[in-house]
Structure formats: structure tokens, C-alpha cells
Amino acid sequence: RGEGTVTGNTTIGNGGTLAAGTTVANDIGTLSFSNDLTSAAGSTWLVDLNAAVSGDSDLIAVTGNLSLSGPTFPTLALNDFGTFIEGNVYSIATYSSLAVGSQFNGLGENAIVVGSQGSYRINYGAGAITLTAVPEPLTILPLVGLLFAGFLMIRRRRKVSA
């Protein structure tokens, strides 16, 4: 864990953990790298995220190229806390460029990251890796079922009156 700026090209090796902020849990921080950052296979990113406040998360800021190396990619470990609010967006990394094929282990583009407070969709965009708070699949299903049941009732009434 740390805050501030690391100079020179940096590699987080197998078994290493990268985390911004102090040693206190739930402490949001920014850790900057003035050149390239490579997070090798077997490394872990620990990200603190305040689910109640959009944008309130740890940030790894890379001036150069960010590489999340495969074939067994780095792991993303999410420590989310606070009241979950759907639609909140969090930038967990910024960079000048992202190495081709970079991703966290098992988390391709638009994959769902499950935290203790809710679920988040990951996006490896131009200049940033973001997490967007999304509804839990189980909260959507009852709503879809209710809408479908309403549709069937309306359709049945139309047939009866015809």
C-alpha cells in the first residue's frame, strides 16, 4: 500500500500486491507511476471503493503504458464499503496507453465484478479502467417476470373482449 509517485518503469511480480492508500482498510488513495507499469501474472490489485459515493475509489495513475500481463492475468480484489448506489462510476486506473490484451484474471470487457456491497461492470476504456455499479441479476429477474405477467394479462383481456 502507498500513496505518492513511483518513478521509473515498475513491475509488480508474481505474488505481489498493488494497493493505493495507507495500511488502514477503507482508506481511499492515489498511487502514481511516472513511467510504465506492468502487473505480472500472479499479482493482485487491492482496490478500496466507497459504494455510496460515485468516483470515490483507489486510483492507480500511470503516466505511460499499463500492462496487465497474461496468460494468467493479475487478480482484482475489490473491497467495497458503504451503501451501494446503482449507476455510480469509479476509475480504478488511468493511463496513457493500455497494452493489447490487458485484463484482470477472468474479467474481460463488460464482465461483472462482485463485491460485498454490490456488482460492478468493468470497462477497459481509452485512458481508464472503470467500474460501474449495476443491479444484481436477482433484483432484475423479479421485475422482468412482473412485467411479463402484466403483458400476458393485458393480452388475455384483449382476447376475451374480442
Q: How confident is the model at residue 109 (pLDDT cuts 50, 70, 90)?
A: very high
| Strand partners for 66 | 37, 98
- Residue 46's φ and ψ, nearest 5 degrees, are -105, 115
Q: How confident is the model at residue 136 (pLDDT cuts 50, 70, 90)?
A: confident
Provide the pLDDT for residue 3.
Answer: 86
Give the mean model confidence (pLDDT) for residues 75-100: 96
Provide the pLDDT for residue 158.
Answer: 62
Q: How confident is the model at residue 54 (pLDDT cuts 50, 70, 90)?
A: very high
Q: How confident is the model at residue 140 (pLDDT cuts 50, 70, 90)?
A: low
Among candidate residues 45, 43, 4, 34, the one with its CA nearest the CA of residue 22: 4
Q: How confident is the model at residue 23 (pLDDT cuts 50, 70, 90)?
A: low
Burial of 90 (0-12, 13-18, 19+ CB in 10 A): buried
Give the mean model confidence (pLDDT) for residues 25-54: 93
